[in-house]
Amino acid sequence: MLVNADIYVKDIPGSLVRSLEPISAVDGNIVGVVHNREQVIDGMISVNLTFNVEAEKLEALKTMWKSRDVVIAQMGSVTGAVPMDYILIGDANSNFTEKLMKEAAESIAFSSYEVNTSSYTDGEGRTVRISAKLETKEDAKKLDAFMIESCAKKKLTCIRGLTA
Amino acid sequence: MRIFISGFGNIGLGFFETLLIRETFLKNRYKDDPVTVVGVVDSKSYEYNDDEYKICGFCTIGSKKTTGRLHKDRNSLSCREIMDMVDFDLLIEAGPTNITDGGEGLENIRHALRKGKDVITVNKGPLALAYSELSALAEKNGCHLRFEGSVGGGMPIINLCNEALVGQRIISIQGIFNGTCNLILSRMDSGIPFEQALREAQQLGYAESDPTYDIKGIDAASKVSILANSVFNRNVTFSDVSVTGIDTVTGEAVRMAAEKGMVIRHIGEISNDKLEVAPRLIPKNHPLSVSGSLNKAQVITDMAGPITVSGRGAGKSETGSAILSDLIWIMDRRNA
């Protein structure tokens, strides 16, 4: 996935190189580096990085940066957000769906999500369509497991999108 | 090659007809090993070659089609007892699927393998319940056990994965393994409610009067377990498959899927850590977004990427073609 990150590194010689080494260490490929020497906070300089890396290796990268005193101000995928779609059939009203998505967001990193509730009651309840974008494949897997478990508890039919 | 056919309904009879159609081809290919059918058993009757009677292709087909019976009534004889009366080299098991205990088909396959006979089966029950036992039994007795027609009828999926794609790491298989469910769901795309689409499938002869096997996902789950065992070398049975049928899919759900450019299809999914049959949302431009009663599967490989294969999932000549390919595979090795 292509990732864009704002990081802060110490304003001392060699710190930029030390901040880039972990990207190579996780087999990432640096696409762009903007070294913004005008933006200094507490003796640290802002660096904007764009790089390709496997989603599964992001956590290892964060750990390495932390050990090198690199502060991550913002990090997110530029493209490659993982889309996931669900349709819930049964007694799925808007209160339930709202609560469901709040609970999901506590442990899963969403780039965005959209909930559509049917106006037609279809006998038992309203049908709900959830379209989400997740930051990593790991998050997508977590959301799949979460939806399966939550729908089973509520006795809803959960139709999941097919992922490769 | 002396063949014994157990199960002489649509599939068994269809294969018998295939042998007649391909008679010259088989004679030319196996000059020193002519293919002959030496025994046939259905649920009520049987016939086999002895001093007084010889199976004749057109007589057997004619008798079955006009009277519904073969030469002799079975009375209390089991298929195994009839097998013991005949010298044969290969059993073709085409009896009805029993997913509870494998039924007579499982007993027949065990019996033939114990006798050292090769087996070709299109009966899903025995494979979905006792694959490991049967393949171990075949290996122990130096027999071949082949079953291409048990998954996807005329769609060559097992031999594709195990032979054409040999050397590849197969990451996953996703597919439509039940034509009846696909027909119902694709009719629902046109706004027809589930019950009406099911009735239409029944009227067209795709769905049984009791459609439970299809719409509850039992048939597709049997095929998923066969693929898991035979392609992924897993040791699973039908009961290990997570199954959701299509009977809870509503017209409203189909409409909401269409709003997002998607369709709902009943998909079987197999990988090293997945074993599932469920209705799934699929983009309309996805290879598995097909209409009608076709079966279709996408094999994801590490080197060749995705490979897609489709075909008619049922039908006597389609399944007959799968049995024929297994027969040729076995005869090539026996005559090497």
pLDDT tens digits, B208-232: 778 999 999 999 999 999 999 999 9
- C-alpha–C-alpha distance, residues B192 and B322, integer Å: 34
Better-scored residue on pLDDT, B91 or A116: B91
Verify that B260 and B294 share a domain, yes or no: yes
pLDDT, tens digit (0-9, with 9 covering 90-100), for B160-172: 999 999 999 999 9
Q: Which two three-digit tokens encode residue B222?
A: 């049997």
Write down the pLDDT at residue A164: 60
Q: What is the dihedral of CA B117, B157, B235, A140, to 10 degrees?
A: 180
pLDDT: which is higher, B231 or A137: B231
Inter-chain residue contact B286 with A85, CB threshold 8 Å? no
What is the rounded distance in angstroms from the CA atom of residue B335 to the CA atom of residue A20? 64
pLDDT at A124 exceeding the cut of 60: no
At residue A158, the pLDDT reads 95
Which residues of B are known to be catalytic?
223
- Number of domains making up chain B: 2
pLDDT in tens, A5-50: 889 999 888 999 999 999 999 999 998 888 877 777 888 898 989 8
**Most B-contacting residue of A148, A158, A162 (CB-CB within 10 A), to test interface:** A162
In the A/B pair of chains, how many CB contacts fall below 8 A?
A: 64
Packing angle of the helix pair B124-140, B103-114 (nearest 10 deg): 10
CB B63 within 8 A of CB B92: no
- Mind listing the pLDDT tens digit for each residue in B324-334? 999 999 999 99
pLDDT, average across residues A61-72: 92
Query: What is the rounded average pLDDT of the residues A145-153?
Result: 94
Give which of B186, B262, B278 is closest to B224, Cα–Cα: B278
**Are residues B174 and B275 located together in one domain of the fold?**
yes
CA distance B213 to B221: 10
B54 shares its domain with B88: yes
ipTM here: 0.83
pLDDT at A121: 62
Nearest residue to A87 via CA among A113, A116, A121, A123: A116
Q: Which residues of chain B from 231 to 290 reach within 8 Å of chain A, CB to CB?
A: 244, 248-253, 256-257, 259-260, 262, 264, 267, 269, 278-282, 286, 288
Question: How far apart (Å, rounded) are the C-alpha atoms in residues A101 and A106?
Answer: 9
What CATH number has the domain bearing residue B102? 3.40.50.720
**Are both B113 and B216 inside the same structural domain?**
no
Please check whether residues B233 and B270 belong to one and the same domain.
yes
Q: Say whether both B252 and B273 belong to one domain.
A: yes
DSSP B115-162: TT-EEEE--HHHHHHHHHHHHHHHHHTT--EE-GGGTTTTS--HHIII
Task: Tell me, yes or no, whether B6 and B105 share the same domain.
Answer: yes
| Structural domain boundaries, residue B180 | 158-312
Structure tokens at A12: 């001392």
Position A118 scores a pLDDT of 85
Residues B81 and B195 in one domain: no
- pLDDT tier, B55 (very low <50, low <70, confident <90, very high otherwise): confident
Nearest to B258 by CA among A116, A111, A82: A116
Q: Which residue ranges form the domains of chain A, and what is each CATH number?
A: 2-79 (3.30.70.260), 82-160 (3.30.70.600)
